[in-house]
Amino acid sequence: TFFDPLFDENKTRQEQTVDLGETKTDSEGHADFDLQLERFADATYAMRFIAEGFEGEGGRSVMGDVGALVSALPYVIGYKADGDLRYIDMKKPRAVDLVAVDPQLNRIAIENVTLNLIVQEYVSVLKKQENGNYAYESVLKERPVKSEKISVAASGYHYALPTDEPGNYVLELRDDQNRALSKLRFSVVGQAAMAGALEKNAELEIKLNAKEYRAGDEIAVSVTAPYSGYGLITIEREKVYGFSWFQTTTPSSIQHIRLPQEFEGSGYINVAFVRALDSKEIFVSPLSYGVVPFTANIEKRRLKIDLQAAAKAKPGEPLHIGYKTDRPSKIVIFAVDQGILQVTDYKTPNPLAYLFRKCALGVETAQIVDLIIPEFSLLRSLSAFGGDGEGAQRLNPFKRITEKPVVFWSGIIDADATAREVVYDVPDFFDGTLKIMAVGVSNETAGSTEREALIRGPFVITPSVPVLTAPGDEFEAGVTVANNVEGSGADAEIELRVETSAQLSILGASTQKLRIAEGREQSAKMRFHVNDTLGSGEIKFVASRNGIETRRRATLSVRPPVPYATDVRSGNFKKGNADVPITREIYSEFAKREAAVAAVPLGLAHGLYAFLKDFPHGCSEQLTSGAFCRLLLSDEADFGLSRAEANARIEKTF
């Protein structure tokens, strides 16, 4: 563990993002960026460099990142403890190993290092309140206990922590310029007459010897109080599961309570402590209390699931997933494309963590200890916290057909110690990592597990095609082919063939010969012409060699170059006939031509009604105009709009 001596606890952590601009790679694919780290103030911070590269031929991009720890210090000193520093029993040996490293993480020797041992104590001070009254409050005070010079060798330095007296300690290392090099905190628990007053909030300092227990374990509770007296320890959740009374003649003590056999899940240790009648601490709160959480018997409820699947598989072939559990249960197996999981940051479900999540403490505690000193209620009210202190209708009708997400769901199936399997037919278009997850539950246990399978065919085809085009367009598409055929050699000849649907035509040769070494990739370009047929266009790329082939399709939307529009034309004629020419190029897929002739001017409303009905913008003005048009004309027989249709439209609008 390393301590940042440049970190200021009074300042909030901030994250900065700096754009380093763009550059081109050389023939080997290398590029240099000047990070200009001198722009930041002296500090120790984590830096993450993110780069996105674009392929010159097809525009395909790939992203990567790398992290580093940046510091203005010439070296840092870290420590490794041989046990838990949060809970050290008094007089029990506990030590830390110190090591110094330079920016290249090489171990180095450091001379003339000052080691300071500091004890943290709470002392009671009489402080004047805003209302003019005086009250005792707890103030943290650091008292130096020991100071000595040490030398940290390249192999490290072994230091035994003092555990003779209970308390909260700080071990600090400084160089010859009095700069802080490292700092660690540790707590020694035991029975002693130490100061630990926390009068303002009437709290106890409570520490447990572990975070998780088994049924029947004895829980050791370190209690540090402002005074000596009597206490009650309870195990609580929605009810009280166990209790134990105790008496101590010193403010610091170790108490014990046994966990009931039937208890499991999350719970709370609640300690209420009352000042002894003969205690001389008469100016502090007579009641102090504290609550700490813990968990018990979680491993007893863990269902062990064993998943078996091939580490590598080919697209288009069945992926056999074997599974078994350590007891009869019901499980669900599902596999999802790793790329989809990265977008949503999805994690494998952990039903055990959910079922045994921290529960709210449902026990209310009532007391009359405040009657010992009448002013206690007033002190509690003054210490209370609070105050100011602290448009679906505009979707593309010619949308392209896309590949479905790579997802497998087994449903709820039976599982036990017998090995079984489910089969998932991996789509032939998928290449990547498939994350297989299983979640199971039985009458008494729950569990989950995961593993990964690499889906990779003999060739990986990555096309780069525009997502939409218009009739008459011509475009160039790039495609990258990766050669994964084992034993194909450094000069393998691969045939790349292209096929199109009725919406597209190929300009030039439909077949190209590529020379791709095993484990490498190569890009190719092809030109296409967009025909007058609208809809979802499809380009199939086929890479083959010696009877081995891989197919991959790319789709694009072929749609008109102008948006959907409504033209309204009106006029009049006295006799004979009249021609209304249509000068726009209209595609038949969504075309609609209507004409209305009336002896009165009301016929003009037909065109206005059609215009407002399909108006592309959802402004309040247009919505209201369309609704009133239906409302006013619904009773006109010549208009041809039924009352039911008018009511439905008006109801939808408002």
How many residues does this entry show for the chain? Answer: 654
| Alpha-carbon dihedral sign for residues 25, 30, 34, 37 | positive
Break the chain into its structural domains and give their ranges: 1-73, 81-189, 205-297, 300-359+397-455, 459-558, 601-653
Look at residue 196 in the predicted model and tell me its pLDDT: 44
**Model pLDDT for residues 493-550, shown as the tens digit of each residue:** 999 999 999 999 999 899 999 999 998 999 999 999 999 888 899 999 999 998 898 9
Q: Report the C-alpha gap between 486 and 499 in whole angstroms.
A: 27
Q: What angle do CA 425, 431, 433 make, to 5 degrees?
A: 85
Running DSSP on this structure, what letter comes out for residue 387? T
Q: Report the C-alpha gap between 209 and 134 in whole angstroms.
A: 38
Are 76 and 100 within 8 A, CB to CB? yes
Which has the higher per-residue pLDDT, 228 or 529?
A: 529
Q: Report the C-alpha gap between 76 and 105 in whole angstroms.
A: 9
Q: Per mean pLDDT, which range of 166-170, 559-563, 614-618 is the poorest?
A: 614-618
The confidence band for 132, taking pLDDT boundaries of 50, 70 and 90, is confident
The confidence band for 136, taking pLDDT boundaries of 50, 70 and 90, is low
Cβ neighbour number for residue 564 with a 10 Å cutoff: 13
Q: Is the per-residue pLDDT at 418 higher than 90?
A: yes
Q: Report the C-alpha gap between 4 and 304 in whole angstroms.
A: 41
Question: What tokens were used for 234?
Answer: 């309870």
Are 360 and 342 within 8 A, CB to CB? no
Are 334 and 432 within 8 A, CB to CB? no
One fold for 81-189 and 300-359+397-455: no
Mean per-residue pLDDT, 73-78: 84
DSSP string, 187-214: EEE-SB---B--TTTTB-EEEES-SEE-
Which CATH topology does 300-359+397-455 take?
A: S-adenosyl-L-methionine-dependent methyltransferases (2.20.130)
The confidence band for 647, taking pLDDT boundaries of 50, 70 and 90, is confident
Q: Report the C-alpha gap between 148 and 221 in whole angstroms.
A: 34
Look at residue 4 in the predicted model and tell me its pLDDT: 63
Q: Is the per-residue pLDDT at 96 higher than 50?
A: yes
Are 76 and 91 within 8 A, CB to CB? no
Q: Is the per-residue pLDDT at 448 higher than 90?
A: yes
Look at residue 435 in the predicted model and tell me its pLDDT: 93
Task: Please give the torsion angle defined by the CA atoms of residues 558, 561, 566 and 568, in that order, rounded to the nearest 10 degrees.
Answer: -140
CA distances from 487 to 28, 212, 484 (A): 25, 54, 9
Q: Which residues contact 651 (CB under 8 A, 6 or more apart)?
A: none
Look at residue 200 in the predicted model and tell me its pLDDT: 42
Q: Which residues contact 463 (CB under 8 A, 6 or more apart)?
A: 58, 477, 478, 479, 480, 539, 541, 552, 554
- Strand bridging mode 110-128 / 134-152: antiparallel
Look at residue 438 in the predicted model and tell me its pLDDT: 94
pTM over 0.75, yes/no: no
The confidence band for 556, taking pLDDT boundaries of 50, 70 and 90, is very high
- Report the range out of 6-20, 337-351, 366-380, 382-396 with the highest average pLDDT: 337-351
Are 208 and 200 within 8 A, CB to CB? no
Which has the higher per-residue pLDDT, 35 or 39?
A: 35
Q: What is the percent of the chain where pLDDT is above 90?
A: 31
Are 136 and 199 within 8 A, CB to CB? yes
| Alpha-carbon dihedral sign for residues 24, 26, 29, 33 | negative
Running DSSP on this structure, what letter comes out for residue 369? G
Q: Which residues contact 100 (CB under 8 A, 6 or more apart)?
A: 75, 76, 77, 78, 107, 108, 109, 110, 152, 154
DSSP string, 496-511: EEEEE-TTEEEES-SE
The confidence band for 432, taking pLDDT boundaries of 50, 70 and 90, is confident
Helix (H), strand (E) at residue 288: strand 287-296
Q: Report the C-alpha gap between 480 and 464 in whole angstroms.
A: 8
Look at residue 97 in the predicted model and tell me its pLDDT: 92
Q: Is the per-residue pLDDT at 383 higher than 60?
A: no
Domain 81-189: CATH superfamily, name plus number: Macroglobulin (MG2) domain (2.60.40.1930)
Question: What tokens were used for 419?
Answer: 């090995």
Task: Domain 205-297: state its class.
Answer: mainly beta
Chain position carrying tokens 């036990």: 416
CA distances from 553 to 433, 463, 500, 503, 559 (A): 20, 8, 9, 14, 19
Q: What angle do CA 13, 14, 15 make, to 5 degrees?
A: 130
Which has the higher per-residue pLDDT, 307 or 135?
A: 307
Find, among 177, 495, 499, 441, the residue nearest to 301 by Cα.
Answer: 441
Average pLDDT, the chain: 82
Are 390 and 553 within 8 A, CB to CB? no
Domain 459-558: CATH superfamily, name plus number: Immunoglobulins (2.60.40.10)
